Amino acid sequence: MNKLTNTVLYLMSLSAGLVVANLYYNQPLLSQIAVDFGVSESEVSYVALSTQLGYAFGLLFIIPLGDKVSNHKILQIDFVLMIMSLLAAATSNSILLLIASSFFIGFTSALPQLFVPMAAQLSDAKGRGRAIGIVMSGLLIGILGSRVISGFIGEQYGWRTMYYMATIIMGLLFVVLRFKLPKLNPDFSGTYVSLLKSVFHYFKTEPTLRLAALRGALSFGCLSAFWTTLVFLMEDSFGYGSTVTGLFGLLGMGGALGATIVGKLNDKMPKNKIIIWSTLLLIVSWVVFLFSEYSLFGIIVGVILVDLGMQALHITNQNIIFSKNPEARNRVNTVYMVSFFIGGAFGTSLGAFAWEHYKWTGVSVLGLIMSSLILVVHFMYHNRE
């Protein structure tokens, strides 16, 4: 029986978007932050890197608790720490303090990854792909929309204002979730240490999970390389500020709405076919980027393709791993998402390095290599699943 009402499903989708937005507010603001603290483009990229690493640690140490602790208890503790971290970022007086605060913003903003397996748990098998797609649509729109909002707010009112606004939004969201989100009481009875050990057990014993994690890491790595360096490209090639950079998120949001369609396709089409076509979209997007250093039209086309390809691949990966081990969906999601965001962190770091030494051509070649590797590893290991 399907226990997931549309009201709860769309609340989880909205919540996922609002919380995950905390991770990405800084990306269009990096140039402002660099000027404010008097640091280089390479140094300020550690703000984005620290946020993504914090998210990876949050996935590893918080999300497995979804199989052991009530979701309401996790929410209560997590939101308090999240609000404190956002305030610390808003009031930071050095780049080091901002980097440290960003780590904890990322750590506590792992929360949306509880909503994805929750949607899978509350749905029946026939509607699981749709439910995952809707929650992922909210999450992805949050990722992309955050750049639009922070780009505008940062240019008009300063980058600190964005963090103050995020603090207020999180306080209001916590109140709503406290009263509206269904309470789940999982039945894992072991210790927290044994819970974490079981995460590594699933990683070692599930080749399907490892392959999905590697595909996800590579796809998010090349996407992170793009979004981290886009603000520098806009200034260097076109003379635009953070507002225009943020507006590119609107293009990606159109692709994010396609996540619901991809979720439904996952209930009907062979997943291997979706993986291949979505990866080809990523590869084509980077070919377009390579020849678009001075073409806004090319960048626009590339943004639509890269976001749509990554989202289709991501949703398909999650649908595959959630179809197995229903008693441990939070733990297998931990394995997948930790790998996903470690890939994103490396993409951010490599993207900043490529930009500093080889500008946009270097970033585009990096993205092309990483997206092509997805097909290589998929064809090499798919038959062993």
Q: What's the pLDDT tens digit per position in 185-221?
A: 887 878 889 988 988 888 998 889 999 999 999 999 9
Task: Assign domain 7-182+192-384 one CATH number from 3.40.640.10, 1.20.1250.20, 1.20.58.220, 1.10.10.10.
Answer: 1.20.1250.20
Range ranked top by mean pLDDT from 52-61, 103-112, 118-127, 332-341? 103-112
> Is residue 57 predicted with pLDDT exceeding 80?
yes
Q: Are the beta carbons of 74 and 62 closer than 8 angstroms?
A: yes
pLDDT score at 147: 79
Backbone φ and ψ of 40, nearest 5°: -80, 170
> Is residue 258 predicted with pLDDT exceeding 70?
no
Q: Which is higher by pLDDT, 182 or 373?
A: 373
Least confident span in 91-95, 143-147, 171-175, 332-336: 143-147
pLDDT score at 384: 57
Q: Retrieve residue 107's tokens.
A: 């750590």
Instruction: Grade residue 255 by pLDDT with cuts at 50, 70 and 90.
Output: low
pLDDT score at 2: 47
Mean pLDDT of 164-186: 91
pLDDT score at 124: 73
How many angstroms separate the Cα of 121 from the Cα of each of 186, 206, 329?
Answer: 11, 20, 8
Ranges of each domain in the chain:
7-182+192-384
Q: Are the beta carbons of 370 and 271 closer than 8 angstroms?
A: no
> Is residue 263 predicted with pLDDT exceeding 80?
no
Instruction: Grade residue 157 by pLDDT with cuts at 50, 70 and 90.
Output: very high
Distance CA(89)–CA(200), nearest Å, equals 33
pLDDT score at 267: 66
Cβ count within 10 A of residue 3:
10
Query: Residue 331: what residue type?
Result: R
Residue 164 sits at the vertex; the CA angle it makes with 163 and 168, to the nearest 5 degrees, is 115
Alpha helices by DSSP H, listed for the chain, are: 6-20, 30-37, 41-61, 71-90, 95-108, 112-122, 128-157, 159-180, 192-205, 207-233, 242-256, 258-266, 271-290, 296-322, 329-381
CA 41 from centroid of its chain's CA atoms: 22
Give 305-308's long-range contacts (Cβ < 8 A, gap of 24+): 305/281, 306/222, 306/223, 306/226, 306/281, 306/282, 306/367, 307/140, 307/144, 307/223, 307/251, 307/252, 307/255, 307/256, 308/255, 308/258, 308/278, 308/281
Mean pLDDT of the chain: 87
How would you class 40 by CB atoms within 10 Å of its CB: exposed for 0-12, middle for 13-18, buried for 19 or more?
Answer: exposed
Distance CA(50)–CA(36), nearest Å, equals 18
> Is residue 268 predicted with pLDDT exceeding 80?
no
Least confident span in 193-207, 252-266, 339-353: 252-266
**Predicted TM-score (pTM) of this structure:** 0.76
Distance CA(182)–CA(195), nearest Å, equals 23
Instruction: Grade residue 1 by pLDDT with cuts at 50, 70 and 90.
Output: very low
Return the residue matching tokens 């520098």.
Answer: 232
pLDDT score at 254: 63
How would you class 375 by CB atoms within 10 Å of its CB: exposed for 0-12, middle for 13-18, buried for 19 or more?
Answer: middle
DSSP 182: P
- Express each pLDDT in 66-117 by its tens digit: 888 888 899 999 999 999 999 999 999 999 999 999 999 999 999 888 888 8
pLDDT score at 383: 59
Q: Are the beta carbons of 127 and 5 closer than 8 angstroms?
A: no
Instruction: Grade residue 11 by pLDDT with cuts at 50, 70 and 90.
Output: very high
Q: Which is higher by pLDDT, 156 or 267?
A: 156
Please give the radius of gyration of the chain, using alpha carbons only, rounded to the nearest integer. 19
Query: Residue 35: what residue type?
Result: V
> Is residue 318 predicted with pLDDT exceeding 90?
no
